[in-house]
């Protein structure tokens, strides 16, 4: 089975720009969540999608938005980039809420975003 | 709200030493508990899990027991290797709602030859 793949792996953007990060979930998984991980910190939950609907959101401003597609792949969009948005962005998938509870999440390797 | 507290790192050990990384949690209901490992430059990998009290999760020589009475899920390994050097995250997924996991801040483990 394929794992979670994220693209691009690295990205450099200028403050004020917009960015789109992409994630392909593991085969058979219908739930995708996104995390921001600053250097030396644990992952901070951004939001989660279950069958194309957002079903949870962390403490992030509205300029962080997302989509989940019918094939359960997902995008994270960040508008008006700020320097503090520089971080590793992780995507994780699970086989539904029950899967998340019983089996945990499968993570991608992340996208390293640098805002200059 | 739900929370996970891990011991501060870095933890520095010699090869073949015994490892303990402490993790305690606060949650309503009956959470599932997880340990994830992150190697440099990579995403998180699920290391082990336990879904109910007194369950023991184990993988690659690592173990952790779900202790409801002490709300703990400490990670242990009898003999660490240099290749175990990584950051370890304790996490919980609470029952009910949207099952969004809560992570600890991570504990860095450095193993010297």
CA distances from A38 to A75, A113, B52, B79 (A): 19, 10, 31, 31
Look at B35 and A2; give whichever has higher pLDDT. Answer: B35
pLDDT of residue B22: 97
pLDDT of residue B33: 95
Residue B90 contacts residue B24 (beta carbons within 8 Å): no
Instruction: Give dist(CA A39, CA A93) in Å, integer.
Output: 22
On the question of pLDDT at A83 being above 70, the answer is yes
CB contact under 8 A, A43 and B44: yes
The shortest C-alpha distance from B86 to chain A (Å) reads 12
Tokens of A108: 């991608």
pLDDT of residue A28: 83
Within chain B, how many helices (H) and strands (E) appear?
0, 12
Instruction: Give dist(CA A26, CA A2) in Å, integer.
Output: 6
Q: Residue A104: list chain B partners with CB under 8 A.
A: 32, 34, 36, 46, 49, 91, 93, 101
Q: Given the DSSP bridges, would you call strands B11-14 and B107-112 parallel, antiparallel or unpaired?
A: parallel
């Amino acid at each position: 089975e394929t794992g979670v793949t994220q693209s691009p792996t690295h990205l450099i953007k200028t403050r004020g720009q917009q960015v789109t990060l992409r994630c392909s979930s593991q085969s058979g998984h219908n739930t995708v969540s996104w995390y921001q991980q600053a250097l030396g910190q644990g992952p901070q939950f951004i939001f989660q999608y279950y069958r194309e609907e957002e079903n949870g959101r962390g403490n992030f401003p509205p300029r962080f938005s997302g989509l989940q597609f019918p094939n359960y792949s997902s995008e994270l969009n960040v508008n008006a980039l700020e320097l503090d948005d520089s971080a590793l962005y992780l995507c994780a998938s699970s086989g539904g809420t029950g899967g998340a509870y019983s089996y945990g999440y499968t993570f991608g390797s992340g996208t390293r975003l640098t805002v200059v | 709200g739900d929370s996970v507290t891990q011991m501060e790192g870095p933890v520095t050990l010699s090869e073949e030493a015994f490892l303990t990384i402490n993790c305690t949690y606060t949650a309503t209901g009956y959470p599932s508990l997880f340990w994830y490992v992150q190697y440099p430059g990579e995403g998180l990998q699920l290391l082990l899990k336990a879904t109910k009290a007194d369950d023991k999760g184990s993988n690659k020589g690592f173990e952790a027991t779900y202790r409801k009475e002490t709300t703990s899920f400490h990670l242990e390994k009898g003999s660490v290797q240099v290749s175990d050097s990584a950051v370890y995250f304790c996490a919980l997924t609470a029952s009910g709602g949207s099952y969004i996991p809560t992570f600890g801040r991570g504990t860095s483990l450095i193993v010297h030859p």
